[in-house]
Amino acid sequence: MKVLIADDQRVVREGLATIVGSLPDLEVVGLAANGEEAVALTAEQRPDVVLMDLRMPVMDGAAATSAIRARHPATFVVVLTTYADDESIIAALSAGASGYLTKDATRDDIRRALEAAVAGQTVLDPAVQATLIQAAKAGTRAQIAPAQTAARHLPDGLTQREAEVLTLIAQGRSNSEIASDLFVAETTVKTHVNRIFAKTQSRDRAQAAAYAHRHGLAE
């Protein structure tokens, strides 16, 4: 199995490469420092699976996952990140990730997740499952099936929450105002804005607003 590793921290990339490379029948074919590099290396190396961090510069892991799954459907993605909040989990799964692990995962956890992804199965870290169950019981929007269904009806892989943020951008709302409107942290809004820019190929908020108007998302 050919594996590509994407993480913006060099020590983490190299550590994961050592772990994955020591596992039977697994070969590390590339290391990427951001989502854009991950997409480019996937096209070049055609790995079976990408072990993907989420919070990275240039292009984040969710946007990279969406691009990889759209362009290379034979390549699967397993997320390995320190974040286990419902927003991050839903963004990754909606983008097409086949697994979601936190960085306290063991060597065997990583192996099982990679093998399961290639076999067409989904593996979720127990902490991730607990987060989703708790969110669902609380009646939040953190329900995977509706999020995935909504994403299929939006352009360029935008999630429902990203579409909501894009609509507010088109209305001229600032990040702090959007955070207040949606009852989320401003850092979460910034993450959504970066993902929106990447998916819509917008350089700034003006271009994103124009995109929203073209696709009927400005209302």
Residues 109, 180: Cα–Cα separation, whole Å? 38
What pLDDT is stored for residue 219 in this prediction? 66
Structure tokens at 187: 């850092």
Report yes or no on whether pTM surpasses 0.95. Answer: no
Q: What is the pLDDT of residues 141-150, one digit of tens each?
A: 434 444 443 4
Q: What is the pLDDT of residues 113-130, one digit of tens each?
A: 999 999 888 888 877 777
Residue of 157, 151, 163, 143 whose CA lies nearest to 217: 163
Say if residue 33 is in the same domain as residue 106.
Answer: yes
Q: How many domains does the chain have?
A: 2
Band (206; pLDDT cuts 50, 70, 90): confident
**Which of 82, 99, 133 is the C-terminal boundary of a domain?**
133
Amino acid in the structure at residue 141: R
Q: Which residues 6+ apart lie within 8 Å of 43 measured at CB?
A: 71, 72
Say if residue 23 is in the same domain as residue 119.
Answer: yes
The range of the structural domain enclosing residue 191 comes to 154-214
| CATH, residue 207 | 1.10.10.10
What pLDDT is stored for residue 150 in this prediction? 43
What pLDDT is stored for residue 12 in this prediction? 93
Judge contact between 165 and 171, C-beta under 8 A: no
Q: What is the pLDDT of residues 4-25, one digit of tens each?
A: 999 999 999 999 999 999 998 9
Average pLDDT of every residue of the chain:
85
Start-to-end CA span in the chain (Å):
46
Q: What is the pLDDT of residues 166-184, one digit of tens each?
A: 999 988 889 988 888 887 7
- Is residue 146 a part of any domain in this protein? no
Q: Which residues 6+ apart lie within 8 Å of 87 measured at CB?
A: 142, 161, 184, 188, 191
- Is residue 139 a part of any domain in this protein? no
Q: What is the pLDDT of residues 40-78, one digit of tens each?
A: 999 999 999 999 999 898 899 999 999 999 999 999 999
> E strands, 112-154, where?
123-124
